[in-house]
Structure 1
Amino acid sequence: MPEPRKSRQIPLELVVLQSLNSRMTLSDQDWKNYFSLAKGFEGEVKFDQLTGKLESECIVINGLLLKIDNHFFQIDTVIIFQKTIYLVDVKNYEGDYEFESKNLKHIKTGKIIKDPYIQLQRCETMFRQLLQELGFHFNVEAYLVYINSELTMYQAPQNPSVIFPTQIVRFMQTLNKIPTKLNSGHEKLADLLISLDLGDYPFTAKPDYDYDRTIKGVLSACCHQFMEADGDTKLRCCKCGLEDSVESAVIRCVEEFKILFPERRVTTNAIYDWCKVVRSKRTIRRILQKNYRVCGKGKYCYYV
């Protein structure tokens, strides 16, 4: 089974919205963005589980944001075989849709979505251009995979590059039967593509929030609900039952604090206020000193 050369990373926008959703009431638009991002990431993880079971010799790269000629393009999964590179775009749409002239229409809500296969074709073209610029010559095949078993698509045109839920097993079986043997050239290409990955889109719209409007506390890493103190050294979530050490919880809160409020300094008082349920400032100071670099002295001390 191939280990992914690049693991799937939660998009920064989703990390922010996931945290804010627990700490405040999101606007309608931010909630829609959060639901869409969470649903999309869930689908990508489901497909990762399938590629993790591939038995053929290949390199799997999960999630690339690339750029060519000042144009960004994103690929959910890249699978490198001996002669062919497979680009896979995963959609986790659920419910009944009707295909209408380059659009998908949700039958119940009437919501219109541009046919994602059009976007995939654009990504395929740009990826081919990138390969040429890098001096590599591979066949490239692009596939759109609808991962959710609760999807029904009416009047969809026949397209062998579009994989519906009932076709996924056969699609993965096809990948498993590809004769392939990799060499250092394939490894070099994979490393180069990963080095070109830009991570997150630089122009993502930022939700409207500020420190004073957020609810303070430690969120469970499992269900993102607030945890309670369970003695002096542990925290526990009443909803999912997760138990966590105070040190692990504080570090997680610090990283969340840095993402949400990059303009604020990480100080003992700031993290004490942000965590809320950790009873001792001395404990927080000890954890910060152990895990972060100290800058400044006295009341001007902060951590990076």
Structure 2
Amino acid sequence: MKERLKPLFLQKQEALLRRLPKIHKLYPKIERDYKKSLAGYNGEKSIDYFLSYLKEEYLIFHNVRLLDRKHYFQMDTLIITPSFACILEVKNIAGSIYINEETGQMIRTLDGKEEGFLSPLIQVRRQQEHFSLWLKEQKIPNIPCIGFVVLSNPSTILKSSNSLILQAARIPSKFLHLENKYKEIKLKKQSINRLSARITDSHTENDVSIIEHYQLLKSEIITGVQCPFCETIPLMKTFGFWACQKCGQKSKNAHTKALTDYKLLFSERISNREVRSFLHIKSSSSAKRVLQKLHYPFTGNTKDRIYYIKSNQSEK
């Protein structure tokens, strides 16, 4: 019902790494953060194979972020069945983990080094509470809500016996158990359709400014069109092409990715002057032609016109 797409913040991290000088003092930290985000996303994707074994009539929503009164909460995977709802908190963790339920801490041991994290069991329980309250606010019939922590990395060594923590490969058998335990139909087809529409309509993307998140200045970002072949910035616009002086390749559409970077880093709103500055285009008429060919929607008259960069196709 809601596909698993590359998270917006992950896309923003990629754009930032493309356009921040590698000598910048924050580059190593941003790169580390990106690798963690990417590992989490890859971990979430890896459970999709096991989810494919579930009944076709079950509704699956990925990365849903809802508002419960005054708190937003996000679920990696939400599964709605006629008899129960299930939340999966996916963790892609290397090494061995031990979860201390008394302290609410998860201890990860990797290469002889121990690190402490908040227990994912606390996270998934909090999501259950939020979602149950959200269902009540939506006047949806009360249904059991179960939550599991799913370990997507098969090499993770789990040193805990809690039945709410499972390897991804156990998802199909766990659902067979749930189906036998929760047999009473709580949601008829009409109610499920209504709930599905409510979840989809209520989802709100967490669209934070990555420039503000890392406390960067706009002037620190590298401008210009990037070569799709060797990644050199900037390209030169000549005779309808973007030409790379380093590898000699040419491209007609390399500017579209540059404008997507602008949207991810700064804003979906862009003026002719900002297009010229970011793409390194000299004349306003040339910038106007670039924008017109992209068919971006706009507001305002010719002088004060603001264009809206179309949503980029999120990667799966």
The Cα shift of 1:201 comes to: 6.6
* Aligned amino acid, residue 194 of structure 1: T
The Cα shift of 1:71 comes to: 2.2
List per-residue Cα deviations over 1:219-243 (Å, max 9, x = no partner): 589x99558789955889x99xxx9
Gaps of 5+ in 1: none
The Cα shift of 1:120 comes to: 0.7
* Aligned amino acid, residue 197 of structure 1: H
The Cα shift of 1:137 comes to: 2.0
The Cα shift of 1:140 comes to: 1.4
Matched, 1:147 2:152: yes
Q: Could you tell me whether the CA contact under 8 Å between 1:217 and 1:226 is conserved in 2?
A: no
Q: For residue 17 of structure 2, what is the aligned residue in structure 1?
A: 21
Q: For residue 4 of structure 2, what is the aligned residue in structure 1?
A: 8
Distance in 1, matches of 2:84 and 2:137, equals 17
Gaps of 5+ in 2: 309-316
1:171/1:229 CA distance change after superposition, 3 Å: farther
Q: For residue 287 of structure 1, what is the aligned residue in structure 2?
A: 290
SS at match of 1:111: strand
Matched, 1:303 2:310: no
Q: For residue 160 of structure 1, what is the aligned residue in structure 2?
A: 163
RMSD after superposition: 3.8
SS at match of 1:148: coil
The Cα shift of 1:88 comes to: 0.8
Distance in 1, matches of 2:15 and 2:77, equals 26
Distance in 2, matches of 1:73 and 1:286, equals 43
Distance in 2, matches of 1:230 and 1:121, equals 55
Matched, 1:191 2:197: yes
The Cα shift of 1:170 comes to: 3.1
1:297/1:279 CA distance change after superposition, 3 Å: closer
* Aligned amino acid, residue 162 of structure 1: I
Task: Pick from 210, 213, 216 the counterpart of residue 206 of structure 1.
Answer: 213
Q: For residue 68 of structure 1, what is the aligned residue in structure 2?
A: 68
**What percentage of aligned pairs have identical amino acids?**
20
* Aligned amino acid, residue 142 of structure 2: H
Distance in 2, matches of 1:224 and 1:95, equals 36
Distance in 2, matches of 1:69 and 1:55, equals 32
Distance in 2, matches of 1:230 and 1:297, equals 23
Q: For residue 171 of structure 1, what is the aligned residue in structure 2?
A: 171
Q: Could you tell me whether the CA contact under 8 Å between 1:58 and 1:79 is conserved in 2?
A: yes
Task: Give the structure-1-normalised TM-score.
Answer: 0.76
1:224/1:126 CA distance change after superposition, 3 Å: farther
1:175/1:261 CA distance change after superposition, 3 Å: same
List per-residue Cα deviations over 1:6-56 (Å, max 9, x = no partner): 123433332222211121143554444323222222222222344345443
* Aligned amino acid, residue 132 of structure 1: K
Distance in 1, matches of 2:202 and 2:230, equals 32
Distance in 1, matches of 2:230 and 2:108, equals 30
* Aligned amino acid, residue 193 of structure 1: I
Distance in 2, matches of 1:280 and 1:173, equals 63
Task: Give the structure-2-normalised TM-score.
Answer: 0.74
What is the aligned length? 286
Q: For residue 129 of structure 2, what is the aligned residue in structure 1?
A: 125
* Aligned amino acid, residue 190 of structure 1: S
Distance in 2, matches of 1:289 and 1:74, equals 38
Q: For residue 104 of structure 2, what is the aligned residue in structure 1?
A: 102
Q: For residue 78 of structure 1, what is the aligned residue in structure 2?
A: 78
* Aligned amino acid, residue 203 of structure 2: D
